[in-house]
Amino acid sequence: MSDLLAIDSLRAGYGEAVVLPKMTLRLAEGQVVALLGRNGTGKTTLINSIVGVTRRFAGSIALAGTDVTAMRPDQRARAGIGWVPQERNIFRSLTVEENMTAVAQPGPWTIEKVYEMFPRLKERRSNFGNQLSGGEQQMLAIGRALTLNPKVLLLDEPTEGLAPIIVEELLKAIGAITRSGGICSIIVEQNAQKILGLADRVVILERGTIVHDAPSAALKTDPTVLERHLGVAGARAH
Q: What is the pLDDT of residue 196?
A: 87
**Which is nearest to 182 in space by CA: 11, 1, 9, 29?**
29
* 238 within some domain: no
* 217 within some domain: yes
* 50 within some domain: no
* 7 within some domain: no
* 62 within some domain: no
* 175 within some domain: yes
Give the separation between CA 100 and CA 35, rounded to whole angstroms.
Answer: 27
**Which is nearest to 194 in space by CA: 215, 177, 169?**
169
The domain spanning residue 103 has which CATH number?
Answer: 3.40.50.300
- The DSSP code sequence of 152-212 is EEEEESTTTT--HHHHHHHHHHHHHHHTTTT-EEEEE-S-HHHHHTT-SEEEEEETTEEEE
Q: What is the pLDDT of residue 232?
A: 64
Give the separation between CA 139 and CA 123, rounded to whole angstroms.
Answer: 12
**Residues in CB range of 81: below 8 A, 6 or more apart:** 50, 51, 52, 63, 68, 150, 151, 152, 154
Q: What is the pLDDT of residue 235?
A: 42
The domain total for the chain is: 1
* 65 within some domain: no
Residues 19 and 60: beta-carbon distance below 8 Å: no
Residues 46 and 59: beta-carbon distance below 8 Å: no
Q: What's the order of all strands across the beta sheet hosting 201-206?
A: 81-84, 152-156, 184-188, 32-36, 201-206, 209-215
Owning domain of residue 213: 28-43+70-230
Q: What is the pLDDT of residue 131?
A: 96
Per residue of the chain (238 residues), give pLDDT as tens: 579 999 999 999 999 999 999 999 999 999 999 999 999 999 999 999 999 999 999 999 999 999 999 999 999 999 999 999 989 899 999 999 999 999 999 999 999 999 999 999 999 999 999 999 999 999 999 999 999 999 999 999 998 888 889 988 999 999 999 988 889 999 998 778 888 889 999 999 999 999 999 999 888 778 788 888 887 654 443 3
Residues 231 and 41: beta-carbon distance below 8 Å: no
* 61 within some domain: no
Q: What is the pLDDT of residue 211?
A: 96
